[in-house]
């Protein structure tokens, strides 16, 4: 079974004015994407073993290592966080949605990098608050880890009883600061 984790895009649904929307789209930051942070997406990250964790109940504090320590991570995995924000608020580039994130603590991000994950996915605008967004993306990219933002259908992964593989196919562009990508999960569950 295949699950499309990419947000379907229709630029007419975006608010914030035509110039603002054009700027977001032209930079590659609309919809499902990751921030390149002056790095190159490694082909080895095209296919990864997927893990998912539900953090939608954590709203009043940062996500700590203890909240995810039960997830059996292996080097090369993608860990996808279900925050519930895209389901709850809907995706819009100038809406409250862009202010919402997974709120991962710095120590949690460092833990994921130390565990050897290749990718971190989230159904929100980022893994930390907007004021820390660029810094955490750069920290991860400098260590060969990319954060995929604005995933969709993540709740469906929570119901899977078998392992799943994630395929991430970003555009091969060197002139963008964000790389739009298609993200597909594959599982043997029917």
The predicted structure's pLDDT at residue 22: 75
User: Would you call 1 helix, strand, or coil by DSSP?
Assistant: coil
Q: What does the alpha-carbon distance between residue 154 and residue 141 come to, in Å, rounded to a whole number? A: 23
User: Other CB atoms closer than 10 Å to residue 12's CB: what's the count?
Assistant: 6
**Among residues 84, 132, 75, which one has the least CA distance to residue 105?**
132
Whole-model pTM? 0.93
* Per-residue pLDDT tens listing for the chain (190 residues): 999 999 988 777 776 667 777 777 777 777 888 988 888 898 999 999 999 999 999 999 999 999 999 999 999 999 999 999 999 988 876 678 888 889 999 999 999 999 999 999 999 999 999 999 999 999 999 999 999 999 999 999 999 988 899 999 998 888 888 889 999 999 976 5
Pairing of strands 178-187, 164-170: antiparallel
Specify the pairing of strand 47-54 against strand 2-4: unpaired
Q: For residue 112, give the nearest of 88, 84, 77, 138 by alpha carbon.
A: 77
User: What is the spatial distance between Cα 10 and Cα 190, in angstroms, rounded to a whole number?
Assistant: 30
Q: So what's the pLDDT on residue 28?
A: 72
Rounded CA gap, 23 and 15, in Å? 12
How far apart are alpha carbons 28 and 56 in whole angstroms?
A: 27
pLDDT, residue 178, reads: 87
Handedness of CA 91, 110, 73, 183 (dihedral sign): positive
Beta bridge partners of 187: 164
């Amino acid at each position: 079974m295949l699950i499309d984790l990419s947000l379907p895009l229709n630029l007419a649904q975006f608010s914030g004015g035509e110039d603002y929307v054009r700027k977001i789209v032209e930079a590659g930051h609309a919809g499902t994407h990751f921030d390149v942070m002056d790095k190159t997406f490694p082909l080895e990250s095209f296919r990864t073993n997927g893990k998912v964790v539900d953090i939608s109940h954590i709203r009043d504090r940062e996500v700590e290592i203890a909240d995810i320590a039960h997830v059996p991570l292996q080097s090369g995995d993608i860990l996808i966080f279900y925050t519930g924000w895209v389901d709850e608020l809907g995706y819009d580039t100038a809406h409250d949605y862009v202010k919402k994130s997974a709120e991962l603590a710095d120590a949690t991000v460092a833990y994921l990098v130390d565990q050897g994950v290749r990718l971190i996915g989230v159904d929100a605008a980022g893994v930390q608050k907007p004021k820390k967004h660029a810094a955490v993306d750069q920290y991860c990219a400098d260590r060969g880890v990319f954060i995929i933002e604005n995933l969709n259908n993540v709740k469906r992964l929570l119901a899977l009883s078998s392992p799943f593989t994630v395929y991430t196919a970003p555009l091969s562009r060197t002139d963008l600061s964000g790389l739009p990508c298609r993200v597909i999960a594959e599982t043997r569950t029917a």
